[in-house]
């Protein structure tokens, strides 16, 4: 006849069972471990616990021979071979092999976190996660690698670490066949095929494929939090991984040496990045499992894979101009061109930028860093794109062709400027005189006529010039021996310092006048003559001012001749 508990009404089969059950109410634990003084309410629980100290594992799997200290642990393990998942969640479709896993999962629905850290008040759904977390406070690393003696805080970290020695990658992507040494990495990779981004920023609309990526985004863009501090130099970082890499600069031997310049690095990745500074080319190490094509960047491989899967390539559309992008992050960056938002600030000059990559490039104007070097002439550049454009000056390659004429060039920016000669577009306007220009450099050069700035100085006589071409011409004409004239006219054998001078001269033979006035259609052989014509007859602009009397002139030559009147010299021009 069943015996009932007087406290909770539970019914038990025997007096012994009732006695054991009552200990859950009284808290009595009469069975002591002689090794660690831990106490238990049942002798069976003590026996299981003792195996932690003795290492005894009496229960062996008949499939893989793995051993366990408890029969229940063996039963749970056996399901990893059979695939059996008898425990199902009544809220969602999740199924698992053990009742403990189901209990932990249910807390993801209820939000319950019953295991609290006594050091920092952080709470966890699973007791194992709490134990692992406590080691971040104690520094304990009880799991040691038998190969390299590296110590780790969790058994699963040890298992993953051992795969770096064995090369084992047991988790394979069902779409592209790529293998991984961790299930978490496989899940993250699978999102590159599905496009799933389950982690959404609480500050903006950005979504990430991983929780780590979201935490890093929030620290970098919104909070500025840098919780990881170097114990040697106190430099702080937003990512633990970045701190680890930084720590190597203090402790690790630089065993990766560049064969081109003998510079040494602490990691192979750093060396590869450095080598790209010499070559300007990224090594193509990422191979498509379907067609064998190789890529230098993961984002390029992912974009290529969409050509096999049929996934929509550009699925993120701008609501303002309908432009489409591959990723939501690219769309977010594009939206800043409409909103004018510039969240990235230079710590030196406080200039702000719409993209973090643009800020990094800008910072090199302060540091003088030019990490990209030409292997032909050793010229250095602050941007890889500038190096690639420069390298075409050696190869003669001109990838960009005008659709209106036969003009070809090596850079897309040069083509964009050239096309404006056909369209007449002049998007850059002077804020002083409202004159417009086809490119930004032309505007910057023009602004010096207002400011008087002459940033280019001759190293021989210290004469200064408003633009670099003026300085180059001055050095050739004044300080270079006449033997330096290398360019000869084939018609009259006259020699010139530069190709530009020769082209201008040739028009005296051909009669060519390629520069036409847009107002009266008069044509001129030189652009400077056209500019003078426009000022004298159409705009009335007189940009050259005498610093002595304030009189203004149409041409710099007129100003020079006028300056002689202040110097007490006669104007010898023939009238």
CA 170 to CA 189: how far, in whole Å? 14
**Structure tokens given for 459:** 């190293």
All residues at 6 or more sequence positions from 173 whose CB lies less than 8 Å from its CB, including other chains: 179, 180, 186, 189, 190, 193
- pLDDT score for 410: 81
- pLDDT score for 574: 40
**Structure tokens given for 570:** 């006669």
Q: What is the pLDDT of residues 219-243, one digit of tens each?
A: 877 777 888 888 888 888 878 877 8
Query: At 546, phi and psi to the nearest 5?
Result: -75, 125
Secondary structure element (H or E) that encloses residue 316, with its range: strand 316-317
pLDDT of 560 > 50? The answer is: yes
- pLDDT score for 258: 79
Q: What is the pLDDT of residues 77-121, one digit of tens each?
A: 888 888 888 999 998 888 988 888 888 899 888 889 888 998 888
Look at phi and psi of residue 298 and say left if phi exceeds 0, alpha if psi is from -120 to 50, else beta.
alpha
Eight-state DSSP code of residue 333 = H
Question: With bands split at pLDDT 50, 70 and 90, how would you rate the model's confidence at 572?
Answer: very low
Measured in residues, the chain has a length of 575
Q: What is the pLDDT of residues 33-49, one digit of tens each?
A: 888 888 888 888 888 88
Please check whether residue 280 is in contact with residue 274, taking contact to mean a CB–CB distance below 8 angstroms: no
CA 137 to CA 124: how far, in whole Å? 15
Average of per-residue pLDDT across 8-19? 88
Pick the residue with more confidence: 548 or 274? 548
Please check whether residue 80 is in contact with residue 63, taking contact to mean a CB–CB distance below 8 angstroms: no
- pLDDT score for 575: 41
**Structure tokens given for 32:** 């002591």
Indicate the SS3 state at residue 456.
Answer: strand
Q: Angle at CA 333, nearest 5°, toward 329 and 334?
A: 115
Overall pTM > 0.75: no
**Burial degree of 420 (CB within 10 A; 0-12, 13-18, 19+):** middle
Pick the residue with more confidence: 303 or 443? 443
- What integer best gives the mean pLDDT of the chain? 82
Average of per-residue pLDDT across 165-194? 86
- pLDDT score for 467: 80
Secondary structure element (H or E) that encloses residue 155, with its range: helix 155-166
Q: What is the DSSP string of 484-526?
A: G--EE-TTT--EESSHHHHHHHHHHHH----EE-TTT--EESS
Q: What is the pLDDT of residues 437-492, one digit of tens each?
A: 888 888 888 888 888 888 888 888 988 888 887 888 788 777 776 555 567 888 89
């Amino acid at each position: 006849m069943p015996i009932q508990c007087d406290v909770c009404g539970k019914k038990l089969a025997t007096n012994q069972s009732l006695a054991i059950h009552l200990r859950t109410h009284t808290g009595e634990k009469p069975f002591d471990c002689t090794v660690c003084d831990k106490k238990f309410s049942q002798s069976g629980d003590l026996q299981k616990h003792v195996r932690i100290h003795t290492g005894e594992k009496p229960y062996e799997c008949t499939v893989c021979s793995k051993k366990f200290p408890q029969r229940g642990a063996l039963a749970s393990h056996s399901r990893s071979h059979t695939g059996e998942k008898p425990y199902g969640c009544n809220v969602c479709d999740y199924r698992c092999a053990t009742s403990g896993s189901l209990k932990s999962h249910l807390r993801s629905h209820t939000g319950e976190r019953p295991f609290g850290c006594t050091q920092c008040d952080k709470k966890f759904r699973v007791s194992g996660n709490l134990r692992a977390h406590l080691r971040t406070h104690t520094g304990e690393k009880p799991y040691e690698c038998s190969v390299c003696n590296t110590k780790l805080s969790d058994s699963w970290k040890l298992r993953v670490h051992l795969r770096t020695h064995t090369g084992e990658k047991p988790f394979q992507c069902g779409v592209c066949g790529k293998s991984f040494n961790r299930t978490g990495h496989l899940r993250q990779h699978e999102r590159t095929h599905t496009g799933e981004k389950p982690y959404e920023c609480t500050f903006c609309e950005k979504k990430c494929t991983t929780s780590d990526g979201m935490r890093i985004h929030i620290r970098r863009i919104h909070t500025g939090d840098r919780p990881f501090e170097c114990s040697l130099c106190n430099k702080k970082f937003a990512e633990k991984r970045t701190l680890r890499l930084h720590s190597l600069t203090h402790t690790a031997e630089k065993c990766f040496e560049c064969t081109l310049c003998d510079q040494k690095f602490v990691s192979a990745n750093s060396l590869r990045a450095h080598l790209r500074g010499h070559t300007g080319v990224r090594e193509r190490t990422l191979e498509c499992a379907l067609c064998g094509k190789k890529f230098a960047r993961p984002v390029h491989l992912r974009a290529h894979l969409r050509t096999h899967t049929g996934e929509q390539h550009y699925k993120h559309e701008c609501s303002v101009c309908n432009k489409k992008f591959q990723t939501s992050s690219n769309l977010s960056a594009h939206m800043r061109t409409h909103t004018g938002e510039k969240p990235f600030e230079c710590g030196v000059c406080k200039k702000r930028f719409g993209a973090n990559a643009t800020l990094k490039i800008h910072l090199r104007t302060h540091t003088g860093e030019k990490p990209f070097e030409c292997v032909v002439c050793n010229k250095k550049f602050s941007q890889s794109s500038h190096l690639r454009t420069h390298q075409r000056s050696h190869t003669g390659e001109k990838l960009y062709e005008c659709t209106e004429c036969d003009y070809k060039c090596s850079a897309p920016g040069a083509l964009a400027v050239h096309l404006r000669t056909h369209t007449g577009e002049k998007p850059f306007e002077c804020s002083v005189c409202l004159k417009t220009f086809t490119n930004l450099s032309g505007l910057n050069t023009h602004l010096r006529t207002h400011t008087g700035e002459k940033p280019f100085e001759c190293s021989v006589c210290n004469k200064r010039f408003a633009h670099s071409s003026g300085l180059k011409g001055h050095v050739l004409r004044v300080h270079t021996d006449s033997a330096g004239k290398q360019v000869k006219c084939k018609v009259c054998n006259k020699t010139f310092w530069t190709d530009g001078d020769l082209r201008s001269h040739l028009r005296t033979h051909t009669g060519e006048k390629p520069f036409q006035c847009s107002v009266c259609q008069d044509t001129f052989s030189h652009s400077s003559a056209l500019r003078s014509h426009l000022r004298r007859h159409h705009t009335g602009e007189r940009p050259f001012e005498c610093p002595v009397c304030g009189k203004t002139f149409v041409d710099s030559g007129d100003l020079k001749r006028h300056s002689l009147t202040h110097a007490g010299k006669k104007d010898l021009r023939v009238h």
